[in-house]
Structures are given as C-alpha cells and as structure tokens.
Amino acid sequence: MAKIKINGKELEVDPKKNLLEASISAGFDVPYFCWHPKLGSIGSCRQCAVVKYRDENDKVGRVVMSCMEPASEGSIISTDAPQAVEFRSNVIEALMTNHPHDCPVCDEGGECHLQDMTVMSGHTTRRYEFEKRTHKNQYLGPFINHEMNRCIQCYRCVRYYRDYAGGDDLNVFSSRNRVYFGRANDGVLESEFSGNLVEVCPTGVFTDKTLKKHHTRKWDLTTAPSVCVHCSVGCNTIAGERYGSVRRIYSRYNEQVNGYFLCDRGRFGYEFVNSDQRIKKYIIPAATEGVTKTTAFDFIAKALKGKKIVGIGSPRASLETNFTLKQLVGSENFSIGLSKLDYQLAKLAVDTLKNGSVKSPSLKEVEQSESVFVLGEDVTQTAPMLALAIRQAIKNLVKPKADKAGIPQWNDAPVREVIQSAHGPLHIAAPVATRLDDVATTTYYNAPENIARLGYAVAHYINNKLVLPSGLSEEVKILAGKIAADLMASAKPLVVSGVHCKNEDIIKAASDVATALKEAGKSVSLSLTFEESNSFGVVLIEGKPLEVLFDDAKTAKAEILIVVENDLYRRLSKERVDSCLSQFEQVIVLDHNCTSTTKKATVILPVGTFTEADGTFVNQEGRAQRFYQVFVPESDTAESWRRIAELAKAIEKPVVGESFFDFTKAVANSIPQCKGINGIAPPPDYKIEGQKVPRESHRYSGRTAMKANINVHELKPAEDLDSPMSFTMEGFHGEAPSALTTSYWSPGWNSVQSINKYQIEVGGALHGGDPGLRLVEPVVKGTYYQSIPDAFKVSSKGLVAVPVYKIFGSEELSAKAPAVKERSGEAFVVLSTADAVKQGLKEGETVEISMGNQITSMNVIIMKELAEGLAGISAGYCGVNPELSEVSFKK
Amino acid sequence: MLTAEEIHEIKEEFHLYPYKQAACIEALKVVQKHRRWVSDENVKDLAGLLEMSAEEIDSVATFYNLIYRKPVGKYVILLCDSVSCYIMGYETVLQHLERTLGIKYGETTKDDRFTMLPVPCLGTCDHAPAMMVGKDLYRDLTPEKIDEILNSYK
Amino acid sequence: MERPLTKNIRPDGKPVFIKEYESLGGYQSVKKALKMQPKEVTELVKKSNLKGRGGAGFNTGLKWSFVPMEGEFEHKYLVANGDEMEPGTFKDRLLIEGDPHQLIEGMIVTAFAIQADEGYIFIRGEYAYAADVVAKALAEAYEAGYLGSNIMKTGYKFNLHLHTSVGRYICGEETALLNSLEGKRANPRAKPPFPQVSGLFGQPTIVNNIETLCNIPHIINNGVEWYNGLSLTPGDGGTKLFGASGKVKKPGLWELPFGVTLRELLEDYAGGMQDGLKFKGCLPGGASTDFLVAEHLDIKMDYASVAAAGSRLGTGTMIVLDDKTCPVGMVLNLEHFFAQESCGFCTPCREGLPWTEKILRKIEEGKGEMKDLDILQFHTKFMGPGNTFCALAPGAMAPLQSALKYFREDFELHIKEHKCSWK
Ligand SMILES: Cc1cc2nc3c(=O)[nH]c(=O)nc-3n(C[C@H](O)[C@H](O)[C@H](O)COP(=O)(O)O)c2cc1C
Ligand code: SF4
Ligand code: FES
C-alpha cells in the first residue's frame, strides 16, 4: 500500500493503480474519457488532468494526466486546483468544437458520458465559430447504429473491440481531425460482443438499434435487475420497459460474473418478449366461446378431476417454477424436461462439480487463469461471455513481461508493445473450427470420441498412473504431451468443457485432466457449460428424463400432461413427441411464446417471460441468481409458479406458498443443494429508510398522461408483494443493496460510468458484495472417471451427426428476436472437404438431409477442419431433429 | 488479384521484420509502385496475404499521406507548401501549375498524366520553392522552369 | 576550422561511395571501437558532450546508457531518424546523400555500444534519391564485411536495413517512428517506458538523428578533447550544421562550431538580406521554434544561449522572415502544416490546431476581431508542454506565441484594416 494525498486527504492505495483510479475510488469526481477500468489508460483524451506536486513545499505543481501517473508512495495531487479545472474545461471546449449539438435527438441523451463530463468540467460558453467536420455513417448490421459526427475520438471503441474482444473488423482510419472509427466498408460487425460498444462509447456514436427504434430515454424506462436467459453463463442484466414493450437490455455489473459486458445474444435476444408470437390469452383450441381466465380454470378443474397428472418442467424456467410443478404432480410424475441424453450430460456435469475436487470458476476467476484447455466446445457460440473471459485469461502469461520492464498493467499501450502478439497457452479440441482459434496455441479437430481420448491422454501425461488410451497416433501423443506440459507449467490452469458435444466421455476426460492437475498441486478450475439458463438448477430439482416420464405415464395410464415453458420438439424427434402427446386426454401448456408444443396443447395458459416474472436461476458456475419482474403487463400473464399454484388451487391440490418468497424458501428448505437461495436478495418486506426500491427513475416522465385514454385520473399503480421494489418512481433513490440495482445513477453521473460509484474501488466488487450464491464447492478428494471410449470409426452407413452451435440461431428464445434472426441464417450441415467431394456437394448449396425418419433441407458449409465421416448439424435450428443419428443425403 | 510479381516483392520484405504484419507499409508501397494507387480490392488482397483484416490494412493505409487510396495520374506532382516555400512564393508556382494543367490540388489531368498534391517541406529550403514529380526533385522553381519540367514528362 | 561532418562531401553533392570513403579514412572508428568495451564507447560519447541533433538536444551518450546491458533480449535495435520533415530543415538530406557511409559507420559503432544486433535507417518517403544512395551504400558495406553476422571477423553481428516512409511529419517523433517501423499507424507512444527499455517490437531501442550518428566516427577516431575543442561553447561538443532559408542573399547550409552568432550566420554565411528587404525575425531551428528578432542577433547559436533568448536551437536551420512577407501569413502557413500533420490522437492538438488555423485564416483574410487574439493566446497555453501527448502541438505553439509577442501590431493591423497589408 502506498500513502498518497488527494486534495489534502491522506489515503492508502494500491500502488499498482493509477491516480485516476485512486481518485475515483476515493470518491472524487475526475472526468475522463479514454480510460476504462477494463481497458486501462492511454492518455489520449487529456480529460483527467489534475495538478501534481513534487512535495509538500511545492505550491505550484504541474498539470498531469491522472490516468497516466502511478499512485506511487508520496504522490500529492489536487483534483480541484484551478489550473486543472480550467484545463479540463478547455478540453471539453475543444471536443465540443466538432461535437454536434443534437442531444435532443440523440439516443445517448440523458445517459451520455460526454454530457456528464461537460457539466462536470464547467464548460458552458462556446467560442468556436467555424464549421464542424462531418462524416458519413455506416451500416453496421441489425444491432448497432453508427453516427460518426458525435465521435470525440477517445479510441475506446477500437480498444474494446480489437484489443479486448479480439474483433478485427472495426478500426480507426485517417489521421488528424479526420480520424474515423468504423469498418473498411459498410457491413455487419462480426464480433459476437459488438453490443458492448453501446456502453463503451461515451457518446452516441454506437447506439442500440433495437432501443433506438422506440425513441426512449433512459429515465423513461422502467427497469429491474435481471439475469440473462439465453445461455448458462447467467450474465447479470438490467431490463428496461416502457409502454408495455421491453426496449433494451443493459449489462448489470457483477465482478464475479460478466463484469461490465454482455454478449450480443444476451443484449439483443430480448425482443422475443415483444414478439407477435407471444401468448397473452387463455386458449382452449376446442372451445366454442371466448375463453377467460375463469372459464379456463373451470375447464381445467373439471377436466382434471380424479385424473392422473404428469408434469414437465424446463431448464429455461426458474427453480421456483420447476419446484412448484414438481410439488403439484409429485416426484414420481415429474420430468425436468430434458431428454435422457441431455439429462445424463447435465447431471454428469453437475455431479462432477458437486463431487469433484476441482472448483468451477466464476468468469473473473476464468480471467485470472494462466493456461486453458478447451474440450469439445466452441465456447463463443455456447457460452459467449466465457469465451470473452478466456480471451482475457491468455493475456496473463505475458503480463510478467510488462512487470519485468517496469510497466504498470494499466498502462495499456506500452504493455501491448512489450507483449506484441504473444499470449499464454490455449489449447482447443473441438469437432469444428471455433471462434477462439485465432488465439489458440494448438487446435485439434476431431470426432467427440477422439476429443475425449485426447483428454485422457493429457490426463495421463499429467499423472502417469492414469491410463493412456491405446492406439493413439504419435502425433496425438505429442500434442497431448504438449498440452499437459503447458497446463503443468502454469500455476492456474483452467479446463473447459460442457454438454454441447452430447458426449459424456468428453466431460469425464475434462474432469480427469482437472483432477490430475489438482493432485499435482495446481490451483486448477473446471468450467463446464450447459445448454440453458437454468440447466444446472433443474438438475438440482431432479426429475425424470422425458422418455422415462412418457413411458411411465403410459404404464400408469396418466391422462393429463402439464408442460411448463418447454418446447418438447426441441428435445425429442417430432415422431416421438407426436406419439407421446397423443397418449394424453389433455395437454396443458404454460408458456409465453407459441411453439410446436403449444400447437398441440388442449389448454394454453399465458405466463410471463423473464421480464414479467421473479425467479432464480443457477448458472454454469453453480451460482444461484435472482431476477425480477420488470413491469406489470396489461394482459393477464403471471409467473409460471404463480399459475401452477392457481391451477393447484383449482383442482384442490394446493402447493405450499403464495408469494414468490414462499416458493423460494420452499426450494431452499427442500433441496439441500439450494440452501440459502432465499438469502441472495433482500426479502419482500425489506425497506430502506422506510421505502421500497423504485423501478423508475426520479425523472420518469409522462406517468400521469400514459393511461389518460383509459381514465383521466391516474390509475393506482400496481403493488409488488413479491419483492422489495416498487413499480413506480416512489421509493428510495439512493444506492440499494447490490442485488436490487434497478439502474446506475449518481448525482452528476447519468451514464453507465456511474457504476464506479457502486463499487468498493473502481473495477472491483460492488458495495456489500456481488450478488449471487455459489451452490457447489469442491470436495477434498476427487475421483477419476477413466471411461475411455473407442476411437471414432468412419461409418459405412452414413455420416455421424455432431451438433454445431451458433450464437445466433441455436438458442430458442433469442432466435425469435428479429435482430438476432437477421443474423442467424438457415439450418446448415457442415461437411469435411473429403465428404463434400464424395457427395458431390458445393458450399452454399441446399441439400435434403435425412436423420432418423425426418427429412430436412439444409445449406451446405464445407469446413476443412471437420474430420471425415462427421456431419456438423446446426443445433437448435427450426426443423432440425434434436435426436442425433446417422445422416444421409437425399439425392 | 495481386500479381505474382507483387506477391514476390512483398514476401521479400517479410524477412526484414520479426513478423509479416510489420511489413504492412512495405506491402502497400509495393502495390502502389505497380498500380499507382491502392484500391479497396487491393486492400482485401493484401489482408489475405498478410493475414490481417482489411480494416487493419486500411487503418494504416489511410493514416499516411503518401499512400494513395484514390486513383492518381501517371506522375504525382508534390508541391511543397511549407514555410520556406511560402516565403519564397510557392503560391505563384501553384497558380501557374493550376493554370497550365487545369487542375487543383487532389485532381488529375484529363489525360491522366498528372495528379497534383500539396506536400509538407521537401527539405530543400535553401532552394525554395520546390516540388517533386514522381521520384524527381525540382528546386528554385519559376513558372518558366515549370513549363520545361512538365514537358519532359510524357 | 575543421568540418568533420561535411569534409567528404563534394561541392556537387554526389555521393561518396565505399572505395573513396575508405581511402579518405573511413571505417577506422569501427576497427577501433570493436576493440573497446561497449560501455567504454558509451562513456566516451557521453563525455564528448554530443547532444542529439534531432531537436531536443539530449546528451547522446547518456541516452545510450539507459539501454539495459544485462539480461536476455530477443533483439536490441538502433534506428537512424531520417524523417526530416520539420519545415525549414534540410540538413540530414545532405549527410545521407553526400556521405552515406559516414552514417553507416556511425551506426555500427553506436550499435556496438548498446549491443544492438538489428538496425534500421528510417528515411522519409520523399527522399527517393537519398534512399537509393543508402541502399547502394548498405550493399557495399555488407559486401565489405562492415555489416552482417561477423563484422570484420570479430564475431560481432549487426544487420542494418533501409526503411522508406510514406509521409506524415509525426513519424519523426521517435516513438511514432517506432510504430511506423512496426507497420502501424504513427501515433506516438506513452513515455515512460522509454524506447531504451521498450522500443521497437518491445525491445530496447535507441533512436538517433542522422546528424547525431554522423558525429560518432569522429569522436571515436579523434577523442573527446579534440571533439570538444571544435565547439566555441563549453558543454556543447562538436560542430553543427547550420542553415538559412527565406529571402537571404545566399540561402544554404554550413558546418560551423557551436557558438557562432546569429548575426554571423545571417550576414557572413547567408550573405545578409536580399536587397531592399529588412530582417524582421527568424525561427532559429525549424518550424517548431520560437521567433527571434533583431534584438537577438548577437546571441550565440548554442543550446543554452538560444534557450535563454526564449527559443530553441532545434535543428539549427533557420527560417528568415523579412519585412515584406506577412508574419500572419507565415504563422498561418505554419499552423496549417501542424494541423495537417497532427496524428489525431490527443484532444488539444487534434481539435486545437485546426481551430488555431481557422482563426489565423480569418485574420489573414481581414475578418479578424480583437477577441480572436485572446483565443490564439489561449491556445498557446492550452497546447503547451505537458498538456498534449507528444511535443508536436507545443512545438506548433512556439512560433505562434512568439509571433503574438513580437508581431502583435501586425496582427492588430490586419484586424483594424480588415485586410492583409502585405498582399
Ligand atoms: C513532432 C516531432 C517531429 C520530430 N521529427 C524529427 C525528425 O524529423 N528527425 C529527427 O531526427 N528527430 C525528430 N524529432 C525528435 C525525435 O523525437 C527524437 O528526439 C530524435 O530523433 C532523437 O535523436 P537525437 O537524440 O539524436 O536528437 C521530432 C520530434 C517531434 C516531437
Ligand atoms: S500532440 Fe497529440 S495529436 Fe498531436 S501529434 Fe502529438 S499525440 Fe498526436
Ligand atoms: S482519461 Fe486520462 S487522458 Fe483520457
């Protein structure tokens, strides 16, 4: 720790930080642009000027950029010395010479870092009287809008996009006051993390197109803390609504999970909430008259009387929903909504983390790893933010190089110059080329069996008591040896795998590698991906696989099926689901969007999406996280757990609890692994200074006029009995506990940069700790699986299908969002060059594929990396048979 | 498409640097030597050759004033517009060039022979005003001299 | 008077190639230096009081001594800065074109002193002829065994390459130059770390001006005492290339001892002002130095004296302003240059210089107002040293602030008369 003095105040700070970080952490407002806690300093904007004094006797001092000065022992600075204040105001004046005064029509208005800094710097009067430079804007795809005239040349966009996220199709062009930030030509930004530009850009150059079309201000959004529903990473978000439509997703800072950022699926996938496929009414297809809630429940009460009921939950529904359904139908009659194979995989992954000796890391811990081995995953497509974290991790090995040269880590450009393109070891074994290959040390493309075998070989080279798979080629042995050596050479290796190859042996091999590293004394972690937002959670709830439930229901002659938030056609083949559903008298489906399953329903009950529901998910780390209802929809949609409880009441089989908190407590009390989840956020009766936490800002506008078409008297706002938050602007406007952050705001800080004010120190943990609760921790002694599969053999009958995931397209809910749909394209089949030649197929051609009994047309993609004998099938795409089998081509 | 000759010349430059991306500027120069200027298509081709994105190449290309990203004539006239030449009256030279060639800065003559661009100090201030035509330097310019010089470029 | 730097240079400027160079005593310093310890060479150069001729005037040997001599490095680099784009500067061209082996010889010795194994000669793109000359000289030097992996059979290795640039003044700034050499945009780099520690490709690097490097052989050959004796100013070792451009009778370039007076330069060497013109002022060392005026004519041309007069020796090539040339127009021309050449990285320079240029144009066109002078004055502070990322913008403000001091009435005249009276 270094003793320094800021504005006369003595402070103890980390000398590895710079003076800007130290000042902000100490609560002083110093304006800045080019610095960002995750990107470090480059000193280009000159906005963070302070006066630095040589010693106590120096009364004059000199202006320095606080972001470029180390917080070294004895530093004395003033953030409010007149020279500094004046210079900062002059910098704003200079920036403003070219910045258009279009705040009233700019989408950043009201949450603009430039606006904030302008006010903070005190610059008010304009002296510049010449023309402003103008630029052409570019089309950047369905996510991001480009308005270059607003640029203040802070270079953050390119530093984020290129240096941090590894994208290469955004850059800075030209020089002097013509510098331009964009693509070489108009076109879609290719990075899967482009949406963060919206938050990284301090002005309105890069804005969210999905928000822009609504023309909504930040302060007019009703917002609540949420958790992303589009993959198992569980990034923290803030969802915002106005006039009944959800209008944007913003990242909610959580140091342990997503930090400052989100992936584009998480940010732009939300529009399924506003989809015209939304179910907002009670539907009984056979009914002759209009259906209301009462008639629907009457119908159900009658139809269910004395009948045997089975229920199917869902890995995309909350713990509370699954648990309540299980209560209603009983354990014997409950499925968690996964096929046998998917259940086995998910359970294996959970058990591995639960019973193994290796910790599942938070993304922050992933970022701190020093070597990485990925087995069987294209992480960018299946758990995108994990991929972004891995990208940061491999920069670690080279950091000592900067240390050696005496360059502090925040001094971004020099660190980069020392490091050049070098990075730490990343080894990837996957069936197809992945989006992290550009930074991979080695890649191994092969069939899942062979990936598992490589994994076991690596485990063997770490611990030679473990079996070396027989029949490995010299090449694979050398590769395995190299991977093992790299993992052993670092103190913090990371092994990544998951369920997406649909192969248990890969997970087991990954676990064995991790366990071997653990035994070798390494501070190793094992990160496993799951398919959905609550896959981990439903495994903890437990139930039967779908096939078993259906078989048992048949034997037991169950008449009624309740399906909650699950499209069974994504789990099993069409044939099978069709026949299974036909065995029931009634199929009652609770969902928020139309699916193939709702088409078969005899009763449909509308339920809320994540924005109209409270709930708890467990992410792939094993972290339970709470999400909250954002707004009260006009239609009668409620959380599934509430609906199930109502249904239970209607058939006089009541379940425990009424309010959200009752169900959360019930889960916590009944499922050992879920102990404590009721404590991850304050209870509904929690109040600060006697008030609730408001979902609307103190500047929320139009409230009295919004419903004037219905009643000129302002309607009584909805009450929230389930959470300590209000649906209105009434409440406590200070800082709430971290789990209840509805938006970021602090006096003078209207932009997302105000996150600084919510952290213990900039870039660190939130006040009171980051929300969420880890449900599994490693045991002391792990065991090995050692289940080595036979090598993959090219089949003479046809090609063997392996699933191939796409960030845009494979996931069910986001695929319904128009912007994501624009990026997802059609179903496809990936073929090796050799097989394409054999089949006489060309890239881009459409071909009829038969899998099982189903025939689908798919676009051909030829990939030289794919092993012969495999066919990569676009997973999760509409019409694709989810039961993998052999693939043949229909001529 | 880059020609075999261009590719060969670019690859020759690789060994001067620890990695080939560092030869980016050299590669741009090679293309420009053969084609007078660098087109969008050339940028893409270079990107393939150097294993960089078009954005990375173009970011560099557009920074430097002697890399031409728009077509230029057979000879580029670089007229010094810096201080010594200013004092020594380069403006009359400029006017003479404009009148004779019928072009302004940034333009190319109809016969595609000359493009005229301003250039910062050519480092021959004791013989101002000065200009370059292609690789050749001309100093102590007067309108008469200019006519002679232009005539020698066919 | 000895003129070591230019003694080989022919009146017609045609290059001296290796045979002739060797016959004139060339490459002796390499033989001598390779027998010394690298640290001894550095020490010698430090004591010689050779100061960097690129403009900043930092002790060259001292700069070398910051290069780490212990530890393992992939490479160490030496770079000759031949960007020479500072308006009014035309000295390095002469040295490269006239006597290329002197530069190469200086670089071999310098490389040895810092134990560099790779070197580049960075020459601005417009110096096409100079580049041809250097290319030929390099080939000769390799052929003769002065360069390569076993220099003069001593086992010492130094490879030297030519890099021709593609424009932009900022490439002359040593860290921007390194980015440019790496094939990147020529934005300056943050200091610290200094290039001596982390320079080209992240390795220890020395960047020296061409003229600086050309001094090295002579220091090695003739010793510190001799070298210091060349100068009239104690503390500034050696000779300096001085030049004059503008409306003087005999514009040109001369190798002279430090400490000649400005008047001697102007009157004895440059032949005085052209007939009918009066000396109004001059920029003593290129475009980014402050004006000196008649009252300064008797100052000595050395680093300290010029600084004491409120300017900088800079590159030593002065630009003379006469009384028939509009000072506002001249400053406008300068600021136009700087605004064009800003790299666009930091705010004050990128935004401030175009603004400055626009105001000057407004005044020159007769549309100026008195408040514009305040804004100009403000900019000279706003873009002062320390406020910008590199020294380009502070350099740009030097002629402006001094013009506002010495030629204020000329600015005011434009404003009062709503026109430029020199046109
Ligand atoms: C904007 C700018 C332009 C420069 N241009 C040159 C140049 O053209 N040639 C040069 O030798 N030094 C130039 N310098 C100085 C270099 O940064 C550096 O100090 C010099 O090359 C070091 O060599 P020396 O120590 O031998 O003087 C420039 C500096 C700045 C700030
Ligand atoms: S002062 Fe700033 S903008 Fe100007 S050249 Fe230097 S770094 Fe670039
Ligand atoms: S934040 Fe310090 S210079 Fe930009």
> What does the pLDDT read at residue A38?
96
CA–CA dist A822, A704 (Å, integer)? 38
CA–CA dist A514, A784 (Å, integer)? 10
β-pairing, C156-164 with C118-123? parallel
- pLDDT above 90 for A715: no
Ligand 3 atom with least separation from CA of A65 = 2
CA–CA dist A670, A675 (Å, integer)? 8
> Does one domain contain both C180 and C99?
yes
Residue bearing the CA closest to ligand 1, atom 6 = C172
> What does the pLDDT read at residue A711?
85
Spell out which residues line ligand 2, taking CB within 6 angstroms.
C 170, 188, 342-346, 349-350, 388-390, 392-393
> Does one domain contain both C105 and C248?
no
CB contact under 8 A, A176 and C342: yes
- pLDDT above 70 for A891: no
CATH number of residue A855's parent domain: 2.40.40.20
pLDDT, one tens digit per residue, over B78-125 is: 999 999 999 999 999 999 999 999 999 999 999 999 999 999 999 999
| Disruptive mutation site among C333, C334, C336, C361 for chain B (greatest number of B CBs within 10 Å) | C333
To test ligand 3's pocket by mutation, which of A63, A67, A411, A756 has the most ligand atoms within 8 angstroms of CB?
A67
Instruction: Name the CATH topology of B75-151.
Output: Glutaredoxin (3.40.30)
At A798, the pLDDT band (50, 70, 90 cuts) reads: confident
CATH number of residue C187's parent domain: 3.40.50.11540
> Does one domain contain both C53 and C92?
yes
Query: CB–CB of C195/C116 below 8 Å?
Result: no
Asked, for residue A867, whether it belongs to a domain, the answer is yes
CATH number of residue C384's parent domain: 1.20.1440.230
Handedness of CA A316, A322, A328, A329 (dihedral sign): positive
C89 touches chain B (CB under 8 A): yes
- Local structure of residue A606 (DSSP, 8 states): E
β-pairing, A799-804 with A442-445? unpaired
> Does one domain contain both C175 and C89?
yes
CATH number of residue A72's parent domain: 3.10.20.740
B12 touches chain C (CB under 8 A): no
Q: Cβ atoms within 10 A of the Cβ of A385, count?
A: 27
Q: How far is the CA of A178 from the centre of ligand 1 (A)?
A: 24
Q: Cβ atoms within 10 A of the Cβ of A602, count?
A: 21
Whether B75-151 and B4-63 are alike in CATH topology: the answer is: no
CA distance C132 to chain A (A): 29
Q: How far is the CA of A135 from the centre of ligand 3 (A)?
A: 24
Mean pLDDT in residue range A174-182: 97
- pLDDT above 80 for A890: no
Q: Which residues of C touch B83 (CB under 8 A)?
A: 87-88, 283, 287, 319, 330, 333-334, 337
> What does the pLDDT read at residue C67?
97
> What does the pLDDT read at residue A879?
85
> Does one domain contain both C71 and C179?
yes
CB contact under 8 A, A130 and C355: yes
> Does one domain contain both C299 and C340?
no
Distances (CA, A) of A622 to A530, A541, A723, C117: 11, 13, 23, 54
> Does one domain contain both C138 and C178?
yes
Asked, for residue A645, whether it belongs to a domain, the answer is no
CA–CA dist A327, A334 (Å, integer)? 9
Asked, for residue C360, whether it belongs to a domain, the answer is yes
Alpha-helix residue ranges (DSSP H) falling in A559-674: 574-581, 596-599, 640-650, 660-670
Domain boundary among C201, C229, C257: C229
A417 touches chain C (CB under 8 A): yes
Distances (CA, A) of A270 to A697, A740, C99: 22, 20, 70
Domains: count for chain A: 3
C244 touches chain B (CB under 8 A): yes
Q: Write down the residue that tokens 């053969």 correspond to.
A: B34
If you count them, how many residues does chain C have? 423
Q: What is the mean pLDDT of each run of 10 residues along chain C (423 residues)?
A: 95 95 97 97 98 94 97 95 97 97 98 98 97 98 97 95 97 97 97 95 97 98 97 95 98 97 98 98 97 98 97 97 98 98 98 98 98 98 97 98 98 98 90
Domain boundary among A523, A551, A570: A523
**Shortest CA distance from A167: residue in chain B:** B53
**CB within 8 Å of chain C, chain B residues 56-95:** 59-60, 63-67, 78, 81-84, 86-88
> Does one domain contain both C134 and C259?
no
Structural domain containing residue A26:
2-95
- In chain B, what are the domain boundaries? 4-63, 75-151
Domain boundary among A95, A119, A145: A95
Name the residue among C195, C191, C133 with its Cα closest to residue C164: C133
> Does one domain contain both C335 and C306?
no
CB contact under 8 A, B55 and A421: no
| Disruptive mutation site among A170, A185, A416, A423 for chain B (greatest number of B CBs within 10 Å) | A185
Domains: count for chain C: 3
Nearby residues of B150 by Cβ (< 8 Å), 6 or more positions away: B100, B101, B114, B133
Instruction: For domain B4-63, give the CATH number.
Output: 1.10.10
CA–CA dist A146, A138 (Å, integer)? 6
Nearby residues of A254 by Cβ (< 8 Å), 6 or more positions away: A235, A236, A766, A770, A771, A772
CB contact under 8 A, B56 and A168: yes
Picking from A44, A98, A407, the nearest residue to C345 by CB comes out as A44
Q: Which residues of A touch B55 (CB under 8 A)?
A: 168-171, 183-184
CB contact under 8 A, B63 and A183: no
Kindly state the helix (H) or strand (E) to which residue A391 belongs, with its residue range: helix A384-393
Structural domain containing residue C343:
327-417
Share of chain B above pLDDT 90, in %: 99
Distances (CA, A) of A665 to A329, A535, A655, A675: 19, 20, 13, 9
> What does the pLDDT read at residue C423?
85
Q: What is the pTM of this model?
A: 0.97
> Does one domain contain both C219 and C278?
no
Backbone angles phi, psi at C237, to 5 degrees: -80, 150
pLDDT, one tens digit per residue, over A848-885 is: 998 888 889 999 999 999 999 999 999 999 889 888 78
Asked, for residue A567, whether it belongs to a domain, the answer is no
Query: CB–CB of A576/A597 below 8 Å?
Result: no
Q: Which residues of C touch A130 (CB under 8 A)?
A: 355, 358
B58 touches chain A (CB under 8 A): yes
Asked, for residue A405, whether it belongs to a domain, the answer is yes
> Does one domain contain both C204 and C108?
yes
CA–CA dist A856, A872 (Å, integer)? 14
Q: Which residues pair with A173 in a beta bridge?
A: A180
Q: Please name which ligand lies nearest the alpha carbon of C341.
A: 2
> What does the pLDDT read at residue A714?
83
Q: DSSP assignment of A530-554, as one string?
A: -SSTTHHHHHHH--B-HHHHHHHHH
C352 touches chain A (CB under 8 A): yes
Q: Please name which ligand lies nearest the alpha carbon of C173.
A: 1
Q: Write down the residue that tokens 């310098």 correspond to.
A: C110
Domain boundary among C229, C249, C273: C229
Asked, for residue C74, whether it belongs to a domain, the answer is yes
pLDDT, one tens digit per residue, over B5-57 is: 999 999 999 999 999 999 999 999 999 999 999 999 999 999 999 999 999 99
pLDDT, one tens digit per residue, over A190-233 is: 999 999 999 999 999 999 999 999 999 999 999 999 999 999 99
Name the residue among A567, A447, A566, A426 with its Cα closest to residue A502: A447
To test ligand 1's pocket by mutation, which of C174, C236, C334 has the most ligand atoms within 8 angstroms of CB?
C174
CA angle A501, A502, A508 (to 5 degrees): 85
Domain boundary among A77, A95, A113: A95
Q: Is C25 left (phi over 0), alpha (psi -120 to 50) or beta?
A: left
> What does the pLDDT read at residue A706?
86
Ligand 2 atom with least separation from CA of C344 = 3
> Does one domain contain both C280 and C384?
no
Ligand 1 atom with least separation from CA of C391 = 31
> The complex's ipTM?
0.96
Q: How far is the CA of C390 from the centre of ligand 2 (A)?
A: 5
- Local structure of residue C387 (DSSP, 8 states): T
- pLDDT above 90 for A421: no
Asked, for residue A816, whether it belongs to a domain, the answer is yes
Q: Residue C193, preceding bond cis, omega within 30 degrees?
A: yes
